[in-house]
Structure 1
Amino acid sequence: MNEQQVKECITSIISGNTDSYRFLVEEYKDSVYNLVFKFCGNFSDAEDITSEAFVRAYKNLHSYKPGMSFRNWLFSIAVNLARDILRKKKFKPGSLDVTMLLEESDVNIQFSDDADNPEEIVFNKEEKSALLGAIHALPEKYRVVIILRYMENMSFDEISVLLQKPLNSIKTWVSRAQKILSKKLGKV
């Protein structure tokens, strides 16, 4: 579904055709779930947060601005909801099951393509696991921007709009997070 089709679908929903909302849910449910799962590392929480994000998006569809990417608007709702819920639950970075995250989500962290031998494959999986664990141990604001930037491939501008923070703050947070990760992972 392209942005024009999304806008037509939204117009239809606002006009009273509430059945059209299921098309938006079908289009975005996996990407929202994967994003939320990367934040919380727990299937049950990710499902609950994803469902609630779609409920809130539906209730607030009138506030969607057609010039903005619907995907980013929906991600904004999901990210804010995930942050709120995880704060209330007193989320601990150690609660992440990195193995499940590697196996079950669409986390796509690329290392060497030369991984033909089993030792290299195991080493790459261990590197990914260490990296994901280090990301989840970051302070919340750094974790959020790293996930959006490198796992969701969002631009600094998109992250700035999504989080409603100044562009320079986003760039600074990404830079600081990279330094923390480099230090934790033993890289200069």
Structure 2
Amino acid sequence: MDSTEVKIIKLAKRGNHQAFSDLVDLYKNKIYHLGYRMLGNKQEAEDITQETFLRVYKSIHKYDAKYKFSTWIFRIGTNLCIDRLRKRKNAFSLDAETIEGEGIDGYDILPSEDDSPDQQLIISETQRHVRKAIDKLPEKYKSVIVLRYLHDLSLQEIGDILHMPVTTVKTRVHRGREYLRKKLEHGNLL
């Protein structure tokens, strides 16, 4: 954590509203992307982002500076996503049809001046297949895969966020990758 971030956190803990606003600016995109990748829905990702910062605001005085702030805030966001996924299980059937195109936005397509339209289509289709496979992951694998590969967190950071030993994180990352590999090889995304 850099010294500027440490200063901002100290000021925010003392109730400085501008410092808290600066923290929001530093982390809002990261938390939004976490929510979007775990939930696959823009509106829910926005809700999770807002709820995460609401929780941070209410409990920033409990933050222990011995630990990385990013780990603390990601733990809050991840737990909120997991709670929402658990509520979904009760509200929706696993057999429910999804609305075609739901959850696809500009982040799913990586256009480049060098790519032809065919290449862009292949990239888009591949990303959609990978996202569908990630969406089908069991909850315990989904959170570690999203944190590891989409947020590039270390195994230790993931363990800190999810309150689990690094060995468990390694196992879940391995099993999650295997699950994804099998789904993508066999095209079992329905």
TM over 0.5: yes
Deviation at 1:97, TM superposition (A): 7.1
1:63 corresponds to which residue? Answer: 62
Q: 1:103 to 1:44 in 2, by over 3 A?
A: closer
1:103 corresponds to which residue? Answer: 105
Q: 1:95 to 1:164 in 2, by over 3 A?
A: farther
Contact 1:96 1:133 in 2 (8 A): no
1:47 corresponds to which residue? Answer: 46
- Is 1:144 the equivalent of 2:143? yes
**Which amino acid is 1:104 matched to?**
G
RMSD, aligned α-carbons: 2.6
Q: Distance in 1 between matches of 2:98 and 2:55?
A: 26
Contact 1:98 1:132 in 2 (8 A): no
TM-score for both structures, normalised by structure 2: 0.83
Q: Distance in 1 between matches of 2:87 and 2:105?
A: 27
Aligned residues: 181
Q: Distance in 2 between matches of 1:142 and 1:99?
A: 24
Contact 2:85 2:139 in 1 (8 A): no
Contact 1:141 1:173 in 2 (8 A): yes
TM-score for both structures, normalised by structure 1: 0.84
Q: Distance in 2 between matches of 1:145 and 1:95?
A: 26
Q: 1:16 to 1:180 in 2, by over 3 A?
A: closer
Deviation at 1:129, TM superposition (A): 0.9
2:16 corresponds to which residue? Answer: 17
2:120 corresponds to which residue? Answer: 121
Contact 1:49 1:82 in 2 (8 A): yes
Q: 1:97 to 1:119 in 2, by over 3 A?
A: same
Q: Deviations over 1:8-28 (max 9, x none)?
A: 122112223233211111111
- SS in structure 2 opposite 1:186? helix
1:35 corresponds to which residue? Answer: 34
Q: 1:160 to 1:128 in 2, by over 3 A?
A: same
Q: Distance in 1 between matches of 2:46 and 2:29?
A: 10
1:170 corresponds to which residue? Answer: 169
Contact 2:130 2:184 in 1 (8 A): yes
Unaligned 5+ segments in structure 1 are none
Q: Deviations over 1:111-159 (max 9, x none)?
A: xx9x744333322221111111001100011011111111101111111
Q: Distance in 1 between matches of 2:115 and 2:24?
A: 39
2:3 corresponds to which residue? Answer: 4
Q: Distance in 2 between matches of 1:108 and 1:78?
A: 25
Q: Distance in 2 between matches of 1:14 and 1:98?
A: 44
Unaligned 5+ segments in structure 2 are none
Q: Distance in 2 between matches of 1:38 and 1:98?
A: 17
